[in-house]
Structure 1
């Protein structure tokens, strides 16, 4: 008989970095229920995104006011979602006046900036008046929540109506939307492929500085193409619009992430598969709208 080998067994060799990464990728791929790295159902998100862009382009091509009413409808859903989200944080914003405030979107298109300013002041006063007929407890908090909703959704969304009312309004709206979408798309792609350095881990763990650089670069490139081809403007103006829009789109995304974390919710809604609620898509657009309107007005 062969004598058994004595002594301690040889220690296992540690995995190399490359082998460890390969093992992690294989483990993720073998888990059918895993969440994608960027936290989205990518096919559904792409399908919904393409449909929304096609709907917007169709409204701009065939009848410009159709875009105004499309934004108004989106603002109604966004106001409802935000009011429900705030209610989960014990802020009971007066719903009828904040829903009525979506009229700021068509008001800005037909009446201009002065009418929008007067309309916003009237909407804020209506929120205060409506809440004054209720109980005194938490009244200041509810009024502040209502005015916040009016300013965050209808007022900022109405800025797009000011852009559309210009003679080359359709081109301005397309530029505004495409640079914002390019910011989101470029940041998502670069963040998934190269994201290493967290940007704001307490608010959005998957957002990285590398993804932000991708957002700025992609949005600036799309801005150049849109401003030169659609608005007959200078290339540097397009690059400026795209880069600044990317920065503000990121701020808008992080701001809504902060609101949702404070309220203890993941998404504002679930109406858009792969995206969440309407406000989960409008968060970047409503913040970049006044920026794009101002920069295009100044430089193009």
Structure 2
């Protein structure tokens, strides 16, 4: 528990420093996180008969995430992102030259890892620029609400948890914990406008609701993957916390939806 607490403290401190450090730190850092999450996914699914093209997928994850950041910074035009499409054909063609028993599975897992573990970070990076110029407080508020939801769910689940949420996927999650996480996230959201500005109070509340619901579903989706693959953690780079995919599982589903909501309003 002590190691977990120390790791968590430094992990949060680094993320806050990155977000407040400006766009030129924010973009490459989260492009790297996208690549690490994709790499962890490929490592997690790899077996003797399943061999995803992990380096192609990992490099593509970093390159596309960095390119999205460059578009937001004005260094690239949006249509230039179309150059990422050949990645799909590179995966297909590369599989021709590999002597593996299941090339279709290899291709499928490579593309799935990119879509599941990397694409959501494109939206998270774009969140920093959703109002035009870089604004650290929107992605920072997102992470605070994500952490708050996790904390509220843990505390409420430990104290009042009785009714299982998805027992076959995650036996420890309960409806009471889910509701507690959403409630605490909404309470924090009601105060973010006062300190962060950037969004109206009701917008922060809607963001909290999206994170509370879909962040939990993102957590369950990763649990489903890990249970199916028979692994406890996606990696061991963060002592006591597992891998980057374990730490950002809630973001993977919630970030695209929060971005779309903010673009619409």
| TM-score between the two structures when normalised by the length of structure 2 | 0.89
- Out of 54, 77, 101, the residue aligned to residue 13 of structure 2 is 54
1:106 counterpart residue number:
66
CA distance in 1 between partners of 2:39 and 2:10 (Å) = 22
CA distance in 1 between partners of 2:18 and 2:79 (Å) = 24
Query: Which stretch of the first structure deviates more once superposed, 83-92 or 178-187?
Result: 83-92
1:145 aligns with 2:104: no
Deviations along 1:121-145, whole A, 9 cap, x unmatched? 3332322222122247411111110
Question: Contact (CA 8 Å) 2:234, 2:242: kept in 1 or not?
Answer: yes
- Secondary structure in 2 matching 1:154: helix
Give the direction of change, closer, same or farther, for the CA distance of 1:170–1:49 in structure 2 (3 Å limit): same
Give the direction of change, closer, same or farther, for the CA distance of 1:285–1:120 in structure 2 (3 Å limit): farther
Unaligned ranges ≥5, structure 2: none
Question: 1:86: how far off?
Answer: 0.7
Task: Find the structure with the greater CA-based Rg.
Answer: 1
Higher relative contact order (CA 8 A, sep 6+): 2
Deviations along 1:53-93, whole A, 9 cap, x unmatched? 21122122233221222212222322222111111384211
Shift >6 Å, 4+ stretches: none
Unaligned ranges ≥5, structure 1: 1-40
CA distance in 2 between partners of 1:75 and 1:294 (Å) = 19
2:45 counterpart residue number:
86
Question: 1:115: how far off?
Answer: 5.1
Equivalences, count: 258
CA distance in 2 between partners of 1:261 and 1:285 (Å) = 19
CA distance in 2 between partners of 1:119 and 1:181 (Å) = 35
- Secondary structure in 1 matching 2:46: helix
Give the direction of change, closer, same or farther, for the CA distance of 1:224–1:122 in structure 2 (3 Å limit): farther
Give RMSD over aligned pairs.
Answer: 2.1
1:191 counterpart residue number:
157
2:243 counterpart residue number:
277
CA distance in 1 between partners of 2:12 and 2:78 (Å) = 30
